[in-house]
Amino acid sequence: LEETLALLEEGHWRILAGATDFYPALGSGPVREDVLDINGLGALRGVSHTARHVVIGARTSWTDVIKAPLPAAFDALKLAAREVGSIQIQNTGTVAGNLCNASPAADGVPALMILDAEVELRSTRGTRYLGLDEFILGNRRTALGHGELMTAVRIPKASAAGRSGFVKLGARRYLVISIAMAAARLVVEDGIVTEARVAIGACSAVAKRMRSLEAALIGRAADSSLADPIEPACFAELSPIDDVRGPAAYRRQAARQITIRAVLQAAGTERTGTIAA
């Protein structure tokens, strides 16, 4: 790792992890940059625990996440992992690569936002931690600086509470880029929601926490009536685009429906999986 950081500091490198975003983005063109392949950094692979965090190393694949024993709060992340491409893509693509690629349709982002995840960025100058809203700045834009490597994604154990749900809407059931996706995490005490996180992806340049909706869910009974405050007005702050996968108005409506399902999943009252449009 020290050698990697020294190389990153002194030159201009393109980092390569699972390469499942890297190669498609090249199209038919040649590789024009020096490529630093981090697959040999075994220490960065796997899910580990510290006193205060669950740590997902930067070389951890989606399959590694699916197989890791994790609390129910991570169910949304595991559901998202199962929806990333195909099993081959899940075996090689990494959680960190999904964040660094910063696609608006990255399935990992909403599922990590509801866990209050932070990214760990290391360079020869030191280590810094950024929340996802500070790290992902726009479509394919991140705060990764010169010489920095994302070494891990970490989740505070205080946020690993409750249960979570994830619903992805695609044009077909499998191997599909999201039209919209929603993740929700609820902490329920004595049948009442005491903590709520909701995030929606593919309906703005960067996936978005729905903070006013979260506030509206707190104090409510954790049953099907949780759908009541999830009104169309809650989705006004999204800025979906028209594209080949769907018009903006459809995306906004769909976001509401999948949010209701994700919230009810987190409350334990709804089935899981991708919905075909």
Ligand X SMILES: Cc1cc2nc3c(=O)[nH]c(=O)nc-3n(C[C@H](O)[C@H](O)[C@H](O)COP(=O)(O)OP(=O)(O)OC[C@H]3O[C@@H](n4cnc5c(N)ncnc54)[C@H](O)[C@@H]3O)c2cc1C
Point out which residues bind ligand X (CB under 6 A). Answer: 14-22, 24, 38, 58, 83-85, 89, 93-94, 96-98, 100-101, 106-107, 144, 149-150, 177
Q: Smallest gap, in angstroms, from Cβ of residue 221 to ligand X?
A: 34
Choose between 38 and 234: whose C-beta lies nearer to ligand X.
Answer: 38
Q: Which residues pair with 56 in a beta bridge?
A: 47, 153
136-146 burial string, b = 16+ CB within 10 Å, else e?
Answer: beeeeebebee
Nearer to ligand X, 140 or 157 (CB): 140
Which two three-digit tokens encode residue 116?
């209050």
What is the radius of gyration, based on Cα positions, of the chain?
Answer: 18
Least distance between ligand X and beta carbon 209 (Å): 18
CA distances from 194 to 59, 177, 216, 234, 235 (A): 34, 33, 11, 20, 22
Q: How far is the CB of 196 from ligand X (least distance, A)?
A: 24
Distance between CA atoms of residues 162 and 127, nearest Å = 30
Question: Which residues pair with residue 61 across a beta bridge?
Answer: 94
Place of tokens 């964040």: 99
Looking at the Cβ atoms of 102 and 230, the one nearer to ligand X is: 102
- Least Cβ distance, residue 190 to ligand X (angstroms): 37
DSSP states along 196-229 = EEEEEESSSSS-EE-HHHHHHHTTSBSSGGGGTT
CA 243 to chain centre: 21
Report in angstroms how near the CB of residue 28 gets to ligand X at its nearest.
15
- Euclidean distance between CA atoms 273 and 267, whole angstroms: 15
Question: Is the Cβ–Cβ distance between 113 and 207 less than 8 Å?
Answer: yes
Please identify, using beta-carbon distances, which residue of 58 and 76 lies nearer to ligand X: 58
| Nearest distance in Å: CB 21, ligand X | 3
Whichever of 73 and 84 has its CB closer to ligand X, that residue is 84
The answer to whether the beta carbons of residues 64 and 156 sit under 8 Å apart is no
Beta carbon of residue 125, minimum distance to ligand X (angstroms, whole number): 15
> What does the DSSP 8-state code read for residue 276?
E
Q: Which is nearer to ligand X, 161 or 206 (CB)?
A: 206
Q: Output 120 or 214, the one with its CB closest to ligand X.
A: 120
**Which residue is closest to ligand X by CB?**
97
- Which CB, 70 or 100, lies closer to ligand X? 100
Closest distance to ligand X from the beta carbon of 136 (Å): 12
At position 85, the amino acid (one-letter code) is: G
**Contact predicate 155/116, CB 8 Å:** yes
